[in-house]
Every structure is written in structure tokens, then in C-alpha cells.
Structure 1
């Protein structure tokens, strides 16, 4: 078995614009909202509840 070291903190930093989705619900340059269609209603409900308390 081989192991891979974890990247240092400087390599894993993400700027603030990549932490929040844009108007289309995409994160960063390449998107990031890949969810099976059957889970979309539950995800939408979760997102709405999250936004209510943030």
C-alpha cells in the first residue's frame, strides 16, 4: 500500500468567491453542482434553510 501526503495549508486555500455559488448555483470556474435529479428537491430545501440562517 502506498500513501500520499496531504497538501499543506497554503495549497488548499480557496478564495472567497469560490466558496459561494454564483447565480446559477455553480462554484468556481468549472461549476460544481452535480447532483442526481431525484435529490434536487431535497437539496433546494436544504439550500433555502441554509440561506435563511446565514
Structure 2
């Protein structure tokens, strides 16, 4: 995808994928406060997305 229709090649070998939700919720109260009341629904919806 990075090199589709590009004249200059882009090296993707050092790319990493980050999750948008914490994988371990036991040690993170900050994200719970940021998301708010419906955090369980939001967490379940976005847990395995990037």
C-alpha cells in the first residue's frame, strides 16, 4: 500500500502497528476517565482495531 502508485519507494520494514485501546486495562485508569461512562462498550468495539 505504501508504494502503490508512487515514484519513490518507501521502506516499510521498520513500521509498527499500535492498538488504539490498551491491551491490559488493569494498570490504566487514565483511559477509563477519558472514555467516560460507556467505556465497556467502547472497549469491546475497538479492542482489536488499529
TM above 0.5, yes or no, is: no
Q: Which has the larger radius of gyration?
A: 2
| Relative contact order, higher structure (CA 8 A, sep 6+) | 2
Between Structure 1 and Structure 2, which shows a larger proportion of helix residues?
A: 1
